[in-house]
Chain A
Amino acid sequence: MATTASASEGVLRRLSAALFRHRGVRLWLTLSPPLAWMLLVYLVSLVLMLATSFWRLDALTSTIDRTWGFQNYETIVGSSTYLKLTLRTLGMALAVTVTDLLLAFPIAFMISRVASPRTKGLLSLLVVIPLWANYLIRVFAWRTLLAGGGPVDSLFAAIGLDSVRLAASGWAVWITFCYLWLPFAILPIAAALERVPSSYLEASADLGAHAGMTFRKVIVPLAVPGVVAGSIFTFSLTLGDYLTPTLVGKDLFLGNAISSLLGTANNEPLAAAIAVIPILIVVVYLTLAKRSGAFEAL
């Protein structure tokens, strides 16, 4: 008994000694599980989707015909349908991003630089609390708020804006998106502002800059990485969401086109080709963000 125990101990010891000597092996052993995950689950599925976008749907049997060709991309470019959907989705994503950044910056500034430690905790809690509720519940809340005869409708009627109808409009979608993604804009900006050292502000004041100038020349440039990070969240989340437009809006977005081509027509190839559009948009967006130098400061 004692000999087997010491034998296995010896194996373990030799193994750990070998690992200690071979740094590369150690690194690979640590990295390979997450890398395998990335490759199998993430990259391969993405590539399969790309491949599908070059196949076609056999109209007779409504099954996938695996012959390569550009016909899906020709369909997308050849019809105004997908251009309209793309522009609408892109416009909404930009509108939501700009609105959320404008709303988020003052709140983030309050949280990280103005509030006392106690208020800071309370404010952060208030920002994060909505995230504890289910996404669908938050969307349905806005649907109820904006419906005809609902609170917002009654409020507008009371101040004489009877003709304004928000239910099932683009405005309703915009408001709901802004509400949904606001915490994702506030948190990175607050984190960036938090990291601005007080000594910089003191130095700026010592050198004669007044508050406004310090804000513009010191605080804002140092907050840019946070702002860009927040904008990436709000932009890409809006670009990919398709439930909010169905629940509170009327018009379709790119995600709805993908979902109905998949769910209704079983046309996976065309749906995959359309899914490439938001991917390209995000790639362009990230490239622009990188060029602005935002990632270097992160």
Chain B
Amino acid sequence: MNKPFRLVAGLSVLMIVAAACGSESEPAGDGDTGTGSAGPPVVSEIGEGEGALNLIAWPGYTEKSWVKPFEEDTGCKVEVKYGNTSDDMVNLIRNNPGQYDGVSASGDATNRLVASGDISAIDPALFPDLADVTPSLNPESGDNTAHYVVDDAVYGVPYMYGPNFLMFNTDVVTDPPTSWDVVFESQIDGAANPYAGQVTAYDSPIYIADAALYLMTHQPDLGITDPYELTPEQLDASVELLKQQSDMITKYWAIYTDEIDGFDSGDMVVGTAWPVNQQYVAKAPVESVIPSEGVTGWADTWMMTSDAPNPNCMLQWMQYTLGAGVQTEVALYYGATPSNASACADLDAELGDSAAIFHCGDDEFLSTIALWKTPLSECGDDRGAVCTDYNAWTEKWLEIRS
């Protein structure tokens, strides 16, 4: 009996060595797309639909009431895979080449995808509705478009945007806060933070930007100019603040329903939130404010993958979702702000006074939001490549959470 088993052991060692060597000499598949060759050719006309469309979307972005009319009009059968986080979305696209046509990507995912060649640029001439996009998000003239306009190439069409505002339970937090200090500082005006142990925060490396934004006001000598462009010292200062915050956190939320559950049960009373979270808290009275330090936020863009199997359906989908009618509908359902400013009149008519929280078409408000973008080692200004990239942020985030 012993001899065959020794044979097996020997064979397995051989196979292991073979496998290890084989994989070492194998060309790096991902590397081919990442070396920044000229972008894929831009399509300048939309042909016949392929009959199918595979999307990756945030939950709530592809509901039946506006997907069905699109399917009937174009014959493109829509399949949706939900991404719960930006990182989910990036991985879905990277690990399934040639499977998905498009993605509703937020700014912390877009630059990574564009840089690695996963996204196809578009021809703005195909989308006449782009002219109605609110000025600061407009690819022509906007100053808040770094998340989807790269080197003058336009990578997709804007969908919804919104702030990461400060939400609180009005039963517990009776004075509406005016500063993010209620979630960051253990001492406020010489007294212990009354909400310690009931604070929540977003469980993602990108949340480091919220701390950096707070430090821009409270520690100006750090010289932070952009919360997504942090030198190692600036990153460390933000991490220190977040470690202090960590002791006051009851639970971080990664998926939006985690925060809704936490506010409903009363375990969470104050913390950063999306409009959709506020909309769905049912068992606790909640309000939200834009604190004096300003807010981070997100602007989502429908982007076409560079190896989309159904490009015509995808381009038709992008045309459709940029329309004012669809954007009004999504805004009402999801609680986000339409990028197409011609949707604002409908939204105001539909909601009356409560339309104010959307700040629809309020370009001044939009320009104060520090929109999510992927941190890169290239700072994006004359400092050069001295900034910390998303990988460094992830390791720091683990350090905060450990």
Chain A interface (Cβ < 8 Å from any Cβ of B): 24, 27-28, 31, 35, 39, 43-44, 47-48, 51, 57-66, 75, 79-82, 84-85, 147-150, 165, 167-168, 246, 250-252, 256-257, 260-261, 263-267, 270
With beta carbons under 8 angstroms apart, the residue of B30, B197, B266, B377 that contacts A149 is B266
Do A64 and B401 form a contact, CB below 8 Å, given A39-B12, A47-B19, A167-B250?
no
* Interchain CB contact under 8 A, A60 and B377: yes
Residue in contact with B91 in the complex, picked from A51, A82, A266, CB distance below 8 Å:
A266
Given A260-B398, A265-B395; A167-B251 close (CB under 8 Å): yes
Q: Roughly how many angstroms separate A15 CA and B110 CA in the complex, as a whole number?
A: 63
Which interface residue of A65, A264, A265 has the most chain B CB atoms within 10 A? A264
- Alpha-carbon distance A24/B3, docked complex (angstroms): 10
**Complex Cα–Cα for A270 and B249 (A):** 27
Within 8 A of A (CB), among B348-402: 377, 389-392, 394-395, 397-399, 401-402
Is A48 within 8 A of B23, CB to CB? yes
Q: How far is the CA of A264 from the CA of B389 in the complex (A)?
A: 13
Contacts of A257 in B (CB 8 A): 398, 402
Q: Which residues of A are found within 8 Å of B15, using beta-carbon distances?
A: 39, 43-44
Say whether, besides A61-B115, A66-B24, A85-B402, A250 and B394 are in contact (CB < 8 Å). no
Q: Contact: B28 with A66, CB < 8 Å?
A: yes
Q: Which residues of B contact A (CB under 8 A)?
A: 4, 8, 11-12, 15-16, 19-20, 23-24, 28, 30-31, 34-36, 85, 87-88, 90-91, 94, 112, 115-116, 197, 204-205, 249-252, 254, 261, 265-267, 377, 389-392, 394-395, 397-399, 401-402
Neighbouring A residues of B112 by C-beta, 8 Å? 62
Contact A252 B398 (CB under 8 A): yes
Most buried by B among A24, A80, A81, A150: A81
Contact indicator B20/A63 (Cβ below 8 Å) = no
Given contact pairs A62-B391, A148-B266, A261-B394, A48 touches B34 in the complex (Cβ within 8 A): no
**Assembled-state Cα–Cα distance A257/B205 (Å):** 13
CA distance A261 to B397 in the complex (A): 10
8 contacts between A and B (CB under 8 A): A61-B31, A64-B30, A65-B28, A147-B265, A167-B265, A250-B251, A252-B402, A265-B391
Contact B267 A265 (CB under 8 A): no
Q: Are A149 and B265 in contact (CB under 8 A)?
A: yes
Contact A48 B19 (CB under 8 A): yes
Q: Which 7 A-B pairs have the closest CB atoms?
A: A61-B34, A168-B251, A265-B394, A148-B267, A63-B30, A148-B265, A147-B265
Give which listed residue, A51, A251, A260, contacts B23 with CB less than 8 A. A51
Chain B residue, CB-CB nearest to A86: B402
A168: B residues at CB distance < 8 A: 250-251, 267
CA distance A261 to B396 in the complex (A): 11
CB distance from A270 to the nearest CB of B (A): 8
How far apart are the CA atoms of A59 and B402 in the complex, in Å? 23
Is B402's CB under 8 angstroms from A44's CB?
no
Given contacts A43-B15, A47-B19, A148-B266, contact A61 B394 (CB under 8 A): no
Interface pair A263/B399, CB less than 8 Å apart? no
Is the pair B402, A51 in contact by a Cβ cutoff of 8 Å? no
Among residues of A, the one whose C-beta sits closest to the C-beta of B27 is A66
**Of all chain B residues, which has the CB nearest A88?**
B402
- Cβ contacts under 8 Å, A265 to chain B: 205, 390-391, 394-395
Considering only CB atoms, which chain B residue lies closest to A60 in the complex? B377
Given the interface pairs A47-B20, A246-B254, the reply to whether A150 lies near B31 with Cβ below 8 Å is: no
Per the bound structure, the CA–CA distance linking A89 and B180 in Å amounts to: 33
Q: What residues of chain B lie closer than 8 Å to A256, measured between beta carbons?
A: 401
**Are B28 and A64 touching (Cβ within 8 A)?**
yes
Does A44 contact B16, Cβ atoms closer than 8 Å?
yes
Q: Complex Cα distance A285/B116, Å?
A: 43
Contacts of B398 in A (CB 8 A): 81, 85, 252, 257, 260-261
A261 to B402, CA, bound (A): 13
Q: How far is the CA of A24 from the CA of B1 in the complex (A)?
A: 10
Contact A62 B116 (CB under 8 A): yes
| A62 in contact with B16 given A28-B4, A257-B398, A265-B394 (CB within 8 Å) | no
Among the listed B85, B87, B261, B391, which residue makes an inter-chain contact with A147, where contact means beta carbons less than 8 Å apart?
B261
Q: In the complex, A49→B363 CA distance in Å?
A: 49
Do residues B402 and A61 form an inter-chain contact, with CB atoms below 8 A?
A: no
Give Cα distance in the complex from A209 to B90, angstroms.
68
Q: Which residues of B contact A148 (CB under 8 A)?
A: 265-267
Q: Which residues of A contact B94 (CB under 8 A)?
A: 266
Q: Give the chain A neighbours of B4 by CB distance below 8 A.
A: 24, 27-28, 31
4 extra interface residue pairs, beta carbon distance < 8 Å, beyond A60-B377, A147-B265, A150-B265: A28-B4, A61-B30, A66-B28, A168-B250
CB contact between A59 and one of B85, B197, B251, B377 (< 8 Å): that residue: B377
Q: Give the CA-CA distance A152 to B205 in the complex, in Å.
A: 33
A57, A62, A81, A256, most chain B CB atoms within 10 A: A62
List, in ascending order, chain B residues with CB within 8 A of A43's CB: 12, 15-16
- Chain A residues near B377 (CB-CB < 8 A): 59-60
Chain B contacts of A39 at CB under 8 A? 11-12, 15
Find out whether the CB atom of B16 lies under 8 angstroms from the CB atom of A264: no
Residues of A within 8 A of B399 (CB): 79, 81
Residue of A nearest to B95 (CB): A266
State whether B401 touches A59 (Cβ < 8 A). no
Residues in B neighbouring A63, C-beta threshold 8 A: 28, 30-31, 34, 116
